[in-house]
């Protein structure tokens, strides 16, 4: 591989060109080759054809003059240092070329071989540094676009905030790209309900000077008036005296995630509301049924007893048969109240145990002689169950047996209860008249069963058809 510099001179004055090439040869620079052109057009052709390390450009040429000479050359010399050669009268133009991206300018009348060598070396070094910065900036911008974060740089000493790149504009609509927004903009677009909290927390972190990281979530007003949920985080830079002087951070739009969380929370609230409505409805129905029992049955029995006693009191001669009837009616009312109480009061599961309470429930139903009930329990350790779990299992069985008594006209029922791994499995099957689940709307009883199953992330399955009975399966997760 050849070593040494390849230099392009763009100079139309033969004497100036001769002097320039002589100085290059005398400069002590390792030069491999010197190309010379008289016009911008020729220079562009040379630059496009091969590798040039540095360009020495005269601004006054046959096909171009002044700053336009550099501007024409600039597109093909983006990564090559260009040194402008100028006369005393056009130094202002040379300075303008520097602003446009030229690395240096030299006044021809003051040119020496050592000055030329230094200018070339410094210009190449500056160009390499700028190229490294350009590559670093491209890499940084690529990372910014990949993360879709809005980067900001806050000068804490002067209170100036700089917006890096165009992501801030893309996310929030404000036309600030690599620029300083008006002072106080960020504070003004914070959501009123978040402003004091966010500013207070940020001020405390900066003031205390014990941490170099800050982050928060808040709502930021976009240019269209809508609010975006953002996650903002920053890194604090301290001076040698441990004073905060700068803060660099990134804002991420987390609106989709927040909206999703809000939707989930709303669904949970609606679900809980539905469960509450079912429970309240069941309570109202239970009160209504209790009222009916008290009015139509117990109240009538007691009213009749009162009538018998009134007659017995008014009669001049004792009427033992009326007293006997009154006593029998009062006994009957006591039994009815006892039966009603058993249905309402949660059984003493901690005393009797779940299995014994279920057997007692079955025994009371079978005393009426309307249907036979078979109970099969396996793998169930009552000591491993919470009291609430026992109550829910008991209530589900009680609810389904009441449903069967009221609607099924069944002659036999089979109840299977077991525990498999971490699941409690219950199956209640009857030989009643059944129904079409697709045509029938579930009542309060089934709704209560479903609500109890949901408390343990369980599920309920119902299989029934007209004339073929009904099978209820409930699975409760015991943990």
> 382 and 458: one domain?
yes
Q: Is the model more confident about 275 or about 94?
A: 94
Mean pLDDT of 405-409: 88
Q: What CA–CA distance (Å, rounded) separates 103 from 119?
A: 9
pLDDT band at 345 (very low <50, low <70, confident <90, very high): low
> 303 and 195: one domain?
no
Q: Let me know: does 377 contact 417? Beta carbons within 8 Å.
A: yes
CATH number at residue 133: 3.40.50.2300
CATH number at residue 196: 3.30.450.20
Closest CA to 474 of 410, 424, 411: 424
> 455 and 470: one domain?
yes
Q: Is the model more confident about 426 or about 384?
A: 426
3-state secondary structure of 164: strand
Task: State which of 302, 327, 345 marks the end of a domain.
Answer: 345
Residue 346 in this model has a pLDDT that exceeds 60: no
Residue 152 in this model has a pLDDT that exceeds 80: yes
pLDDT band at 1 (very low <50, low <70, confident <90, very high): very low
The dihedral sign for the CA sequence 394, 399, 401, 402: positive
What is the average pLDDT value for the chain, to the nearest integer?
A: 86
Q: Let me know: does 217 contact 230? Beta carbons within 8 Å.
A: yes
pLDDT for the residue 113: 92
Mean pLDDT of 43-64: 91
Closest CA to 474 of 454, 464, 219, 466: 454
Closest CA to 44 of 33, 28, 57, 27: 57
Q: CA triplet 298, 302, 308: central angle to 5 degrees?
A: 150
> 56 and 12: one domain?
yes
Domains of the chain: total: 4
Q: Is the model more confident about 74 or about 283?
A: 74
pLDDT for the residue 432: 93
CATH number at residue 473: 3.30.565.10
Residue 11 in this model has a pLDDT that exceeds 90: yes
pLDDT band at 343 (very low <50, low <70, confident <90, very high): low
> 126 and 10: one domain?
yes
> 240 and 292: one domain?
no
Q: Which tens digits make up the pLDDT trace of 288-334? A: 667 666 666 777 778 777 877 887 788 777 778 878 888 888 888 88
Give the C-alpha distances (Å, rounded to integers) separating 126 from 9, 104, 110, 240: 20, 10, 22, 29
> 90 and 202: one domain?
no
Task: State which of 345, 370, 386 marks the end of a domain.
Answer: 345
> 21 and 123: one domain?
yes
Q: What CA–CA distance (Å, rounded) separates 476 from 479?
A: 9
Sole residue written with tokens 């399955």? 461
Closest CA to 48 of 58, 60, 59, 37: 37
pLDDT for the residue 421: 79
pLDDT for the residue 478: 67
> 9 and 119: one domain?
yes
Full residue range of the structural domain in which residue 126 is found: 5-142
Q: Which tens digits make up the pLDDT trace of 93-128? A: 888 888 888 999 898 888 999 999 999 999 999 888
pLDDT for the residue 349: 61
Residue 455 in this model has a pLDDT that exceeds 70: yes
> 385 and 444: one domain?
yes
pLDDT band at 230 (very low <50, low <70, confident <90, very high): very high
> 153 and 280: one domain?
no
The pTM of the whole model exceeds 0.85: no
Mean pLDDT of 77-105: 86
Mean pLDDT of 211-220: 92
Q: Which tens digits make up the pLDDT trace of 136-145? A: 777 776 766 6
Q: Which tens digits make up the pLDDT trace of 358-368? A: 998 898 888 86
> 115 and 66: one domain?
yes
- pLDDT over 70 for what percent of the chain? 89
Mean pLDDT of 35-58: 92
Task: State which of 253, 286, 319 marks the end of a domain.
Answer: 253
Q: Which tens digits make up the pLDDT trace of 154-204? A: 999 998 999 988 889 989 999 998 899 998 899 999 999 999 999 999 999
Mean pLDDT of 18-25: 92
């Amino acid at each position: 591989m050849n070593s040494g510099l390849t230099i392009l001179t763009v100079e139309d004055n033969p004497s100036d060109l001769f002097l320039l090439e002589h100085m290059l040869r005398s400069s002590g620079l390792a030069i491999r080759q010197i190309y010379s052109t008289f016009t911008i057009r020729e220079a562009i052709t040379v630059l496009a054809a091969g590798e040039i390390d540095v360009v020495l450009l005269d601004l006054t040429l046959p096909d171009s003059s002044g700053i336009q000479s550099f501007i024409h050359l600039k597109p093909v010399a983006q990564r090559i240092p260009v040194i402008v050669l100028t006369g005393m009268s056009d130094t202002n133009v040379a300075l303008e070329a520097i602003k446009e991206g030229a690395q240096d300018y030299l006044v021809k009348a003051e040119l020496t071989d050592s000055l030329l060598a230094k200018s070339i070396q410094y210009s190449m070094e500056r160009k390499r540094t700028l190229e490294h910065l350009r590559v670093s900036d491209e890499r940084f911008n690529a990372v910014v676009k990949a993360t879709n974060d809005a980067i900001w740089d806050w000068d804490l000493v002067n209170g100036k905030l700089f917006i890096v790149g165009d992501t801030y504009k893309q996310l929030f609509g404000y036309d600030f790209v690599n620029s300083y927004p008006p002072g106080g903009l960020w504070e003004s677009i914070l959501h009123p309900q978040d402003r004091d909290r966010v500013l207070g927390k940020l001020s405390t972190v900066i003031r205390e000077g014990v941490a170099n990281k800050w982050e928060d979530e808040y709502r930021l007003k976009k240019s269209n008036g809508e609010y975006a949920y953002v996650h903002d985080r920053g890194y604090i830079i301290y001076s040698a005296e441990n004073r905060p002087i700068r803060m660099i951070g990134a804002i991420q739009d987390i609106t989709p995630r927040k909206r999703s969380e809000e939707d989930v929370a709303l669904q949970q609230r609606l679900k809980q509301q539905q469960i509450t409505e079912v429970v309240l409805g069941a309570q109202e129905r239970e009160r209504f049924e209790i009222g009916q029992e008290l009015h139509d049955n117990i109240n009538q029995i007691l009213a009749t007893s009162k009538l018998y006693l009134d007659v017995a009191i008014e009669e001049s001669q004792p009427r033992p048969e009326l007293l006997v009837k009154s006593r029998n009616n009062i006994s009957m009312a006591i039994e009815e109240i006892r039966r009603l109480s058993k249905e309402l009061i949660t059984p003493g599961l901690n005393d009797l145990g779940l299995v014994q309470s279920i057997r007692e429930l079955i025994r009371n139903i079978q005393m009426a002689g309307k249907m036979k009930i078979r109970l099969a329990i396996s793998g169930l350790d009552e000591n491993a169950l919470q009291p609430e779990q026992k109550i829910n299992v008991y209530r589900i069985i009680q609810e389904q047996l009441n449903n069967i008594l009221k609607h099924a006209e069944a002659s036999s029922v089979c109840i299977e209860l077991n525990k498999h791994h971490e699941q409690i499995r219950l199956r209640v099957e009857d030989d009643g008249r059944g129904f079409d689940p697709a045509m029938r709307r579930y009542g309060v009883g089934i709704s209560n069963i479903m609500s109890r199953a949901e408390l343990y992330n369980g599920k309920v399955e119902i299989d029934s058809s007209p004339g073929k009975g009904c099978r209820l399966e409930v699975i409760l997760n015991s943990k």
